[in-house]
Amino acid sequence: IDNGKEESEFLLLDFTIIAQATGNFSDDNMLGEGGFGPVYKGILKGGQEIAVKRLSKESAQGLDEFKNEITCIAKLQHRNLVKLLGYCIQAEERMLIYEYMPNKSLDHFIFDQSMPLDWPKRFHILNGIARGILYLHQDSRLRIVHRDLKASNILLDHDLNPKISDFGMARCFDGNEFEAKTRRVVGTYGYMSPEYAIDGIFSIKSDVFSFGVLVLEIVSGKKNMRFQHPDHHHNLLGHAWRLYKTGESLKLIDSSINLLNNTSQILRSIHIGLLCVQHFPEDRPSMSAMVVMLSSDSELPQ
C-alpha cells in the first residue's frame, strides 16, 4: 500500500503482539461489533491503549472496506479524526489498530438520558465534528466523502473531544470529481441524504446532510427517524422546526440546564442543522461555511 508515508510512522504489529495486547481477543476485551467485525481493546507492552478492529474472515465485502479504510485514512491526520496507528496483515488475519477512545461513541451521550451533555460541551463537539469533516472535504490532494457519518461513528477522547471514525465506506475523489453514483448504497438510513438513499448519488453535500442530522440530534437529544419508519417521516425535522420557531419550546430540550446563556447558540445550531438537511444538495452549505458559523459569536443570521 502506497500511503505516501514512511512505513516507520506506523506501528507494524505482529499478530502475536496484538493477541497478547488483547488477552487473546477475549470477550472481556471486546468493545463491540463494528461494520466488518469485532473491535477489541488492547494494551501494548509500553502501556499504550489501542483499539483493534479485526476483520471477520467470512466477509468478502469486509475485505474491500478494510483495504479502503487503510488507503483512505493512512494519509490523514487531524485532531478530529481517530488516528490509525497501524495494521496487521498476516496469513488470514486482517486488523486495523487505532488509538483508544475511552469515552466511546457519541451515541451513548446523546441518546442515553442518564449522561446528558451540558451545552458548552455539545457546542464543542459540534465544532470538532465540523472541523473533522471540513478537513476531509478540503484535503489539498483529495476530496474525501465519508458516506457514513452518524453518532455511533463519532468517538470521544478523555476530554470529550470528538473524533470521526470508520472510514470503511469513505470514497476519495480526485480534484476533478465532485459526485459519484453507486448501485450499492451503503450507509445508515436516517442520516442519508435523499439523492443518495434514492438514486445512489453521493458527494460532499451528502456528508453535509448527515452532519445536519447529527447537529439536530445533538441539540435536541432525539434520534432521527427519517426514512426508517415512513410514519415518522420528518420526525426530527418537525421537532427541530418547532424548537426553532417557538422560543418557548426550547425548554423541552432540557429544562434542568440554564438556557438563557445558550439560547442564541442553540438557535444558531438548529439553524445550521436545518440548512444542512435541505432536500437539494446545491442548497446545502459547504462545511467551511458551517465551521465559520459554528465558531462565530455573532447573533443568529437573519
Catalytic residues: 148
Q: Which amino acid is at 46?
A: G
> Is 167 a binder of ligand ACK (CB under 6 A)?
no
Quick one: which of 18, 39, 125, 275 contacts ligand ACK (CB under 6 A)?
39
Find the shortest distance in angstroms from Cβ 173 to ligand ACK: 25
Please identify, using beta-carbon distances, which residue of 40 and 196 lies nearer to ligand ACK.
40
In this structure, what DSSP letter does residue 175 have? T
Quick one: which of 3, 71, 152, 228 contacts ligand ACK (CB under 6 A)?
152
Please identify, using beta-carbon distances, which residue of 82 and 126 lies nearer to ligand ACK.
82
Only one of the segments 97-105, 133-141, 212-220, 289-297 lies at the binding site for ligand ACK (rule: CB under 6 A); that segment is 97-105
d(CA 223, CA 71): 32
> Is 270 a binder of ligand ACK (CB under 6 A)?
no
Contact 214, 205 (CB under 8 A): no
Quick one: which of 18, 76, 97, 101 contacts ligand ACK (CB under 6 A)?
101
Find the shortest distance in angstroms from Cβ 110 to ligand ACK: 12
The contacts of residue 158 (CB under 8 Å, 6+ apart) are 102, 103
DSSP 3-state helix, strand, coil percentages of the chain (rounded to 5)? 40, 20, 40
For ligand ACK, the binding residues in 122-151 under the rule CB under 6 A are none
d(CA 81, CA 129): 9
Only one of the segments 65-73, 95-103, 124-132, 141-149 lies at the binding site for ligand ACK (rule: CB under 6 A); that segment is 95-103
> Is 107 a binder of ligand ACK (CB under 6 A)?
yes
In this structure, what DSSP letter does residue 286 have? P
Find the shortest distance in angstroms from Cβ 5 to ligand ACK: 20
Nearest to 217 by CA among 106, 127, 300: 106
Only one of the segments 99-107, 132-140, 232-240, 268-276 lies at the binding site for ligand ACK (rule: CB under 6 A); that segment is 99-107
Number of residues binding to ligand ACK, judged by CB under 6 A: 16
Please identify, using beta-carbon distances, which residue of 49 and 199 lies nearer to ligand ACK.
49
Please identify, using beta-carbon distances, which residue of 84 and 243 lies nearer to ligand ACK.
84
Please identify, using beta-carbon distances, which residue of 159 and 248 lies nearer to ligand ACK.
159
Decide: residue 234, CB within 10 A, 0-12 exposed, 13-18 middle, 19+ buried: middle
> Is 104 a binder of ligand ACK (CB under 6 A)?
yes
Distances (CA, A) of 139 to 7, 171, 179, 247: 21, 13, 16, 39
Quick one: which of 31, 186, 274, 291 contacts ligand ACK (CB under 6 A)?
31
> Is 120 a binder of ligand ACK (CB under 6 A)?
no
> Is 80 a binder of ligand ACK (CB under 6 A)?
no
Return phi, psi of residue 60, to 5°. -70, -40
Task: Report the DSSP pairing between strands 201-203 and 37-43.
Answer: unpaired
DSSP string, 47-59: S-EEEEEE--TT-
The strands making up 84-90's β-sheet, listed across from edge to edge, are 11-12, 84-90, 93-99, 49-54, 37-43, 30-34
d(CA 163, CA 78): 9
Q: Which residues bind ligand ACK (CB under 6 A)?
A: 31-34, 39, 51, 82, 98, 100-101, 104-105, 107, 152, 155, 165
